[in-house]
Amino acid sequence: TQLLEQSPQFLSIQEGENLTVYCNSSSVFSSLQWYRQEPGEGPVLLVTVVTGGEVKKLKRLTFQFGDARKDSSLHITAAQPGDTGLYLCAGEGLKAAGNKLTFGGGTRVLVKP
Amino acid sequence: EAQVTQNPRYLITVTGKKLTVTCSQNMNHEYMSWYRQDPGLGLRQIYYSMNVEVTDKGDVPEGYKVSRKEKRNFPLILESPSPNQTSLYFCASKLTTNTDTQYFGPGTRLTVL
């Protein structure tokens, strides 16, 4: 069974500060996805990283996939209250396993004005 | 509007009383799946379906059934609910097994007394 560990579980920061969320596993994934979930809603896909070492940027969010495709990080620069939410990483398994997604436990981010 | 819908959104029931949570998508997606979300555990896959009449177990299938008689619908059935099935449930769909963007429904909060 592939496991994904996210850290920290909870993060509270002031508006304007930076933050990083980590997603680690001992397993190799074909790709790694990051989602954000608002209260009362389902997760929404932010980005998918596929290549080892890949870096993707989405405005103030920077996503990185580890060289060995076992870990990933999400960095938010100058966080804003609108960034508040639950961030989930999900690793995609091999095609033979139906491209199954394994989710991390989530990181709850609170950005205070 | 492209979406995944679930009904009901909230349900309180008692142990042993059969219930069905419906899921429907209007995007002609082949792949659909059900997840449950519990604090600190992220989302865990219950069942998935790669196409009509094709269903398979996810990580936590015990106590659940599904069916996929039509492409758009993927109901989740709890024949005899128990308190440990109290959770937040999400239905999701994506175009094919090989595509990465998975769309989640708004969730169904189930409480089993």
Distance of CA B26 to the CA centre of its chain: 16
- CA–CA distances in Å: residue B36 to residues A3, A52, A60, A69: 16, 30, 30, 26
Q: What is the pLDDT of residue A95?
A: 63
Q: Report d(CA B88, CA B18) in Å as an integer.
A: 17
- Over range B47-66, report the average pLDDT: 94
User: Are B100 and A92 in contact (CB < 8 Å)?
Assistant: yes
- Give yes or no for a contact between A46 and A73, defined as CB atoms under 8 angstroms apart: no
Q: Which of A88, A92, A111 is nearest to A5 (CA)?
A: A88
- Give yes or no for a contact between B8 and B27, defined as CB atoms under 8 angstroms apart: no
User: Are A100 and B48 in contact (CB < 8 Å)?
Assistant: yes
Q: Can you say whether residue A59 is alpha, beta or left, with left for phi > 0 and alpha for psi between -120 and 50 degrees? A: left
Res. B26 pLDDT band, cuts 50 70 90: very high
User: Are A42 and B58 in contact (CB < 8 Å)?
Assistant: no
Q: Out of A45, A98, A104, whose CB is closest to B42?
A: A104
Highest mean pLDDT among A28-32, A70-74, A95-99: A70-74
Q: Out of A1, A42, A104, whose CB is closest to B104?
A: A42
Q: Report d(CA B6, CA A40) in Å as an integer.
A: 13
Res. A89 pLDDT band, cuts 50 70 90: very high
Q: What is the pLDDT of residue A2?
A: 62
Q: What is the pLDDT of residue A19?
A: 97
**Residue range A6-59, pLDDT digits in tens:** 999 999 999 999 999 999 998 888 899 999 999 889 999 999 999 999 999 999
Inform me whether the pLDDT recorded for B69 exceeds 80.
Answer: yes
Inform me whether the pLDDT recorded for B35 exceeds 60.
Answer: yes
Mean pLDDT for all residues in chain B: 94
Length of chain B: 113
Q: Report d(CA A71, CA A26) in Å as an integer.
A: 8
Give which of A99, A102, A108 to mutate to test B binding, by max B Cβ within 10 Å.
Answer: A99
Tell me the two tokens of residue B107: 């969730």
**Residue range B93-111, pLDDT digits in tens:** 999 877 778 999 999 999 9
Residues in chain B with CB shorter than 8 Å from the CB of A31 are: 100
Q: What is the pLDDT of residue A1?
A: 57
Q: Out of A43, A99, A105, whose CB is closest to B97?
A: A99
